[in-house]
Structure 1
């Protein structure tokens, strides 16, 4: 609906005026809002609006103004106005939004003062360090919501959802409506398997096949194993050898042979972007070509990929990519992302995406990625906003320019070389690709042999201030035994990596 010129002029003049007035009012009432937010002061219901940030006051005023002028009060149009104007608002006025992050790329490594942890942390593959700014933003927004749960959640938080979803779509390099929030890689994949099953992607005879590897995480495999258990499909495991000299050709050949055996029945490949066991960066783009050539899907477990490596799902050419963002993305616990290509999404039936909302195409609920939809109910606003803050943090250290990935691989390579130079025990075996390999990642895994225990190694290193990961024996049939895993992210340094090798040498020779 087009606006009358007078209406547009009125809006153009009133909106900046309202923003300035609401900002000044917030500043004048700052001594009142602080004790109120801490619960030290009680106000009559009619006066609590005076403690709201200017963007919230502006939102409520705009809603009333649109109504009085006879304009459409579509929530998305008001959100756009508020989001655009809030970019110009001094961050100190909005109590729940911390300072903006510089667009310029900061010099790595990340500052130790950005984190609570003081240990030499080499276990990002299990759980990453969350920046203090993320923790502050997460907590501040949750506290702000509780000042007036209805008003602040359904108005202020919903007004943030558009920019948060846009950040996540950019992070994966996908369309806005192809990304969804989930709380883990496992949950994302379980939604996928259930959606494919209910969408009748697999034939009823239960003989369709999903290929996977012997180096997958149990959580990533759990939903698929369940489908096999109830007779929906069969799971065929492709063996990827634990060999530091492994090549992309070896992996592709193993999958090609399976397609040659059953060219018509293989419906999908489930593969990790980066193996949580050996740290091999699988040739997923080539596997996507192989899958699509045979009318199959490529489904990627990205738990060990995005954040430590730059990821573009468009470049990978995958159909589905899911990740736990509390690892390499440094997000809050229980944060994750799920990408499903539009064409694949249309053929899936997932209750959380399709149970009565009105926000999406053809009256179907949106993709489940906002703070709130009719289909998924109410999300934790602090976690979702915290994830955005962590993505912004990675961006400030060169995630999009690949500077962060290059740094992670650089300190990983230094550790690798220093390890091979200084640790010469014949039974201690390096399992991860070498520094010249195209399959290397920021993960390095070693086998400690039969003379010593990886649990003892963990304890010894922890006493010296290091945190590492011990790998479960024969995880997913990989054949791995008595192994330790080390991960390298932006907060690790070359010096720490060498100190870790020196401590390992002491343990191995001791």
Structure 2
């Protein structure tokens, strides 16, 4: 499948906002859904709607096959050793919290260290704050450079033999740059620590091979990669997942229950108590099929080229300040326009049919680093075009003139 005419696969893009064709540039927050994903959800609810694992009737068997088939697709997509290393969750946030609440609280003690960076999304910061408070472990931050990035040298200085956990984003949702997680994983392992990677912004834009990265845990969300909302994935090395205790208890995650004790099912079902997110998992599996048909290499090349084009066009507008390094952005650019508040900017752009994000992007420590209370963010995906960027630039210029009056 080629990217030419790919927009036709996304029904939501065929509409006008305030009389202008929609230009959707808020993909880092959530991507739109192709017809294949929408139809897979419809098919499940119209033809196969039943609970999984529990029934012997035809509908339950079909639903179970589709649900577990989606797990196999995820395992193949990530190059996991086995589908048992794939746990379905509600999203990246739930995945990270599962590791923090089950693994980290069990292994961290007073004097241990948890290493993160100030560029992390709050979902990969707040759980570690809570673990540190509960276990009296020390939360350590890798120092940031002026542009918001960090050096591998500073990583080596920050991680020590006292470090138990390193939690880092693969791609920053503010800077759009990829961190060297393979190198960071090697450093962490040299000191006996494990590494969990926030892959929410990376999985949609590049091939991810968890065995090559040698990460211990990897978390991402379906809705940022053309899948449904409410479904996410936690990849974990089998030996680590096996030593973890579940944090939610109830139906489907048990092996045996008596009046005073219970035992748990094997991986991955011990972490999936209750009725799982069946339709979401099936939709995610369809989204993976869709992305693989296009090719992740093709998507990465397109997103990088389009972002570079946008950056070059934005450099031509006086008073635009962009945050982060000049090169290497994966699908987004974060910026401010003079003294115009980002929320005002986003509101005016919306009147031209341009959808962007404004605020602190769940990265308040990084905003503090840049001495900015808020920023605007334009983020691109496989269905965006240079024409979208040109319309965005034209709207920016008109907005600038509007606030000069």
Normalising by the residue count of structure 2, what TM-score does the alignment of the two structures yield? 0.86
Kindly tell me the number of residue pairs found equivalent between the two proteins. Answer: 379
- What is residue 180 of structure 2 aligned with on the other side? 283
Distance 1:264 1:417 in 2: 44
Residue 142 in structure 1 maps to residue 34 in structure 2 = no
Rg (Cα) greater in structure: 1
How many Å apart are 1:296 and its aligned residue? 0.9
Distance 1:113 1:318 in 2: 34
CA separation of 1:208/1:156 partners in 2, compared to 1, >3 Å: closer, same or farther? same
How many Å apart are 1:138 and its aligned residue? 0.8
Distance 2:271 2:128 in 1: 28
What is the DSSP-based 3-state SS (H/G/I as helix, E as strand, rest coil) of the residue aligned with 2:107? coil
How many Å apart are 1:383 and its aligned residue? 1.3
CA separation of 1:412/1:226 partners in 2, compared to 1, >3 Å: closer, same or farther? same
How many Å apart are 1:473 and its aligned residue? 8.1
Q: 2:156–2:187: 8 Å Cα contact kept in structure 1?
A: yes
In structure 2, list runs of 5 or more residues that go unmatched.
Answer: 16-21, 257-262
How many Å apart are 1:484 and its aligned residue? 0.9
In structure 1, list runs of 5 or more residues that go unmatched.
Answer: 1-104
Alignment of 1:30-179 (within 5 A): 105-108=1-4, 110-117=6-13, 118=15, 119-146=22-49, 151-175=57-81, 176-179=83-86
Residue 396 in structure 1 maps to residue 301 in structure 2 = no
How many Å apart are 1:196 and its aligned residue? 1.2
The structure that is strand-richer by fraction is 2
When the two chains are superposed, the root-mean-square deviation of aligned CA atoms in Å is 2.5
Distance 1:217 1:129 in 2: 21
How many Å apart are 1:220 and its aligned residue? 2.3
CA separation of 1:152/1:234 partners in 2, compared to 1, >3 Å: closer, same or farther? farther
Residue 356 in structure 1 maps to residue 257 in structure 2 = no
1:194 corresponds, among 101, 109, 112, to 101
Alignment of 1:76-475 (within 5 A): 105-108=1-4, 110-117=6-13, 118=15, 119-146=22-49, 151-175=57-81, 176-197=83-104, 200-203=106-109, 206-241=110-145, 243=147, 250-259=150-159, 263-327=160-224, 329-351=225-247, 356-357=254-255, 365-368=265-268, 376-399=273-296, 402-420=297-315, 422-425=316-319, 428-435=320-327, 437=328, 440-449=329-338, 451-472=339-360, 475=363
How many Å apart are 1:290 and its aligned residue? 1.1
How many Å apart are 1:212 and its aligned residue? 0.7
CA separation of 1:282/1:108 partners in 2, compared to 1, >3 Å: closer, same or farther? farther
CA separation of 1:122/1:496 partners in 2, compared to 1, >3 Å: closer, same or farther? same
Deviation per residue, 1:393-439 (Å, 9 max, x gap)? 1112112xx1111111111111111221x2132xx32113323x4xx
How many Å apart are 1:216 and its aligned residue? 1.0
Normalising by the residue count of structure 1, what TM-score does the alignment of the two structures yield? 0.69
How many Å apart are 1:367 and its aligned residue? 2.7
Q: 2:87–2:268: 8 Å Cα contact kept in structure 1?
A: yes
Q: 1:109–1:493: 8 Å Cα contact kept in structure 2?
A: no
CA separation of 1:366/1:406 partners in 2, compared to 1, >3 Å: closer, same or farther? farther
Distance 1:239 1:115 in 2: 44
Distance 1:374 1:210 in 2: 24
